Structure 1
Amino acid sequence: MLILLTIIAPKIYQLYVSHQPIDHRADIALLEKNLTLLQENARTYTLLNINTATANQLQTIAGIRQPLAMRILRYRDKLGGFISLDQYKEVYGLPHHLHIKLMKRTTIPAKYRPKKLSLNQATFKALVFHPYISVAMAKAIINYRKQQGKFTHLNAIQRLPGYSSNWGNKIMPYLTL
């Protein structure tokens, strides 16, 4: 009888405990408290203007550390400013999940106008500095100016060798005569 109680009783007790309903009220209360805190914190941040943001401000976004913040700002400066939040996809090494966070935490004011690059005055070096202008396209712009004179309208870039409508749509907001 003693053997029966020492061997079987613990197993019967474990079986009994495993079938008892568990009270989850404390867990639910904790989850609700955490959800409330998350919602309050979500409301406290303000959108950053990506075209005036500093590296320190970008680093307030979870996952963005100093090297990545600097890379985003360098790309912004090379562009002449972001005109679309989709341009974050073009930043080298920016993971998709951080692209999504940036889109949620930053803004581009409706009145923002990017820094313009003059087709008639920009040097070769200034042209190739822009991320959307390749060496070949910069040469084509310089050659056009040498052969045809100054650009008289922005649509003249359509006559450049290597022009595509996709490229034209991307670069046009950054150009001026």
Structure 2
Amino acid sequence: MIILQLVFFFVDFNLIVNNTTEKQQWLSFQTEVDSLKLTHGDERLNFHPFNPNFISDYKGYKLGMSVEEIDRLLAFRKQNKYVNSAKEFQTVTKVSDSLLAKIAPYFKFPDWVNNRKDISHFKDFSNSVFANKEKIVQVDINQATQQDLIKINGIGEAISLRILTQKEKLGGFVSMEQLNEVWGLSPEVVLSLNKYFTIIKLPTIHKIDINNATLKELSQFFYFKQGLARQIVKYRSMYGDFKNIEDLIKVSGFPVNKANIINLYLSF
């Protein structure tokens, strides 16, 4: 009895209780932290398909890229160049194989890149008028007349008029890729057009002031339908002016695969 009384007198049972309580609280807090880490880890992998040419600093960080890798991509893009495959993306950024394997499934390249065909099997549609010339002198597509276009096999009066009409709507072609958007032109005929025509000089375009254009003005632009024009105006009113094309592609429904072409028709 005396020993028990001495133990009760000298031992501080409150300290043991407090330590146990603090330990339990700490363990509970640690469990919550671990849960948040797991949740954060899952968020980093929750991506929608995107064009890797338009990765921002923040997007690159979310993907797990280093600052040096992001800077290499941005420097490459400043030269007005584009990566067209996962392999080319790795060559430019020098990301590791493991990181590439993780993020490459989310890459979405333009349709014209994904559907490129080997031109070696295409039939030559060149006209004898051109074939008789030993040296082909390419004509600026923006200076071509209907008579020039009809000389290409596969192009008649109707299609030649569509090409010229589309050129007028756009204010001029800025890329030969835009010929793929002309209804009725087959890939074979487009190849022939690329053989005899090119863009020697960019046309003088009345650019759209994306930060001040009205809904009607945006809706009349060839690449913006009314629904997208409304989204642009809504986004602009909520977040302020667009600084560059990278800001604009954040708008819901924006045709990211045509961003490099659309950019030439806009002013920021």
TM-score by length of 2: 0.44
CA contact (8 A) 2:249 2:255 kept: yes
1:133 offset after TM fit, Å?
1.7
Residue aligning to 1:137: 228
Deviation at 1:108, TM superposition (A): 0.6
Partner of 1:57: 148
Asked if 1:42 corresponds to 2:133, the answer is yes
For 1:117 and 1:54, how far apart are their aligned partners in 2? Answer: 27
Q: What are the equivalent positions in structure 2 for 1:103-118 lying under 5 Å apart?
A: 103-109=194-200, 111-113=201-203, 115=205, 116-118=207-209
Q: Distance in 1 between matches of 2:175 and 2:255?
A: 20
1:56-92 deviation per Cα after TM superposition (whole angstroms, max 9, x unaligned): 3222333322221110111222233222222221110
Greater relative contact order: 1 or 2 (C-alpha under 8 angstroms, separation 6 or more)?
1
Task: Return the offset for 1:145.
Answer: 3.6
d(CA) in 1 for partners of 2:170, 2:130: 35
In the TM superposition, residue 50 of structure 1 has moved relative to its aligned partner by 0.6
Question: Which residue matches 1:123?
Answer: 214
Q: C-alpha distance in 2, partners of 1:78/1:158? A: 22
Report the 3-state secondary structure (helix = DSSP H, G, I; strand = E; otherwise coil) of the residue aligned with 1:156: helix
Amino acid in structure 1 at the alignment position of 2:178? Q
**1:114·1:173 contact (CA, 8 Å) conserved in 2?**
no
CA offsets 1:149-170 (integer angstroms, 9 cap, x no match): 4434443213322246424334
Note the C-alpha offset of 1:123: 3.3
CA RMSD of aligned residues (A): 2.9
Alpha-carbon spacing, 1:57–1:157, altered in 2? closer, same or farther (3 Å): same
Q: Is the alpha carbon distance of 1:157 and 1:114 closer, same or farther for their aligned partners in structure 2, counting shifts above 3 Å?
A: farther
Counterpart of 2:118? none
- What does residue range 23-172 of structure 1 map to in structure 2 within 5 Å? 41-43=132-134, 46-109=137-200, 111-113=201-203, 115=205, 116-163=207-254, 165-172=256-263
Instruction: Indicate the SS of the match to 1:87.
Output: helix
Q: What is the alpha-carbon distance in structure 2 between the residues aligned to residue 131 and residue 87 of structure 1?
A: 11
What is the alpha-carbon distance in structure 2 between the residues aligned to residue 60 and residue 38 of structure 1?
7
% identical aligned pairs: 34
The count of corresponding residues between Structure 1 and Structure 2 is 140
C-alpha separation in 1, matches of 2:234 and 2:167: 28
Structure 1, gaps ≥5 residues long: 1-36
> 1:130 and 1:114, CA in 2 relative to 1: closer, same or farther beyond 3 A?
farther
| Residue matched to 2:8 | none
TM-score w.r.t. the length of structure 1 is 0.63
Q: Residues 155 and 101 from structure 1, CA distance in 2 versus in 1: closer, same or farther, beyond 3 angstroms?
A: same
